[in-house]
Amino acid sequence: MSRETVLHKVRTALGRSVGQPIEEPPPVRLRIPEIDIEVRIASFRTRIEALAGKTHAARSVEDALEYTTGIIAGRIAVASNAPILRECGITALPGVRTGVTDRDELRALCAAAAVGITGADYALADTGTLVLLSSRREARMISLLPPVYIAVVKRECLLTGLDELLAVLPRPAEQTSSMVLITGPSRTADIEQILVRGVHGPGEIHVVVV
């Protein structure tokens, strides 16, 4: 198409020639503090709750299961194929559909479900953020379509923040077509600056730390 035209204009504007090497970019700046895991968990929960999300520190997988069962409250739920959900027994709950790998089937399920349940690949303590990489274990729609969202996070996945995430995962594109950072429930203040939750994504989120 117009690739060569545009690139040529760019080079001309900059006085550069084809294939001309570049100077070194400014070094990457990542600041990773040393923070104890318990402090990380506390910070993670505080941040999520400040955004009107709910959190639960599960003492055991049974405790995680009990909490999750309470939230589902007998409604239709879709769970991803994250191993942690099976370990907690969540995928075995009645009314929880899981193991779906067909795109259209999953989408219809998510559109009808009241609750979506996923694991998380990482979590960020300083901002209360969940990190989900799209894969055969995690589909995009589960954390997006149903109005209630539950994420079950293993303690070991909790990083200090975005800087540490990018240190641990400098090239997300090598792993997945979609990495999403989720920080709290969906919201907008587009009309008269009044806050409304649950515009398109889930308006209610629960994060269970196991």
Partner 1 sequence: MSTLFDEKIHDTLADPKLQLAIYKATGRLIEERRKAIEPDICPDYQELRTQANAVKRHTIEHLDYYLEEFARNVEAHGGKVIFCRDAEEVSDFVLSLAKERRAELIVKSKSMTTEEIDLNERLEHHHLESVETDLGEYIIQLAHERPYHIVAPALHKTREQVADLLTGKLGVPRETVIEKQTMIARAVLREKFLAADIGISGANFLVADSGAVVLVENEGNARLTTSAPKIHIAVAGIEKLIPRAQDLAVFLKLLGRSATGQWLTVYTSFLSGPRRKDEIDGPEEFYVVLLDNGRTKVLADREKRQSLYCIRCGACLNHCPVYRKIGGHSFPWVYSGPIGAILTPQFLGVRHEPGLPFASSLCGACAEVCPVKIDIPQILLDLRSEVKKAETREGTNRLERLAFRVWAWVMRHPRIYEVAGMAAAALAPSGDGGWVRSVPVSAGPLRAWLSQRDLPSVAPKSFRQMWRER
Q: Are 185 and 202 in contact (CB under 8 A)?
A: yes
How is residue 77 written in tokens? 């739920």
Stretch 96-125 residues interacting with partner 1 (CB under 8 A): 100-103, 106-107, 111
Give least dist CB 198 to partner 1, A: 8
Part of the chain binding partner 1 (CB under 8 A), chosen from 24-32, 69-77, 86-94, 112-120: 24-32
Stretch 151-190 residues interacting with partner 1 (CB under 8 A): 162-163, 166-167, 170-173, 176-190
**Interacting residues of 109 by C-beta distance below 8 A, sequence separation 6+:** 78, 97, 100
Say whether residue 39 binds partner 1 (CB under 8 A): no
**Interacting residues of 124 by C-beta distance below 8 A, sequence separation 6+:** 44, 131, 158, 159, 160, 161, 162, 164, 165, 181
Q: Which DSSP category does 73 fall into? A: T
Q: Calculate Rg over the CA atoms of the chain.
A: 21
Say whether residue 2 binds partner 1 (CB under 8 A): yes
Nearer to partner 1, 94 or 195 (CB): 195
Site string for partner 1, 80-99 (x = CB under 8 A): --------------------
Say whether residue 75 binds partner 1 (CB under 8 A): no
Give least dist CB 209 to partner 1, A: 19
Say whether residue 11 binds partner 1 (CB under 8 A): yes
Residue 86 parent element (H or E): helix 83-87
Say whether residue 14 binds partner 1 (CB under 8 A): yes
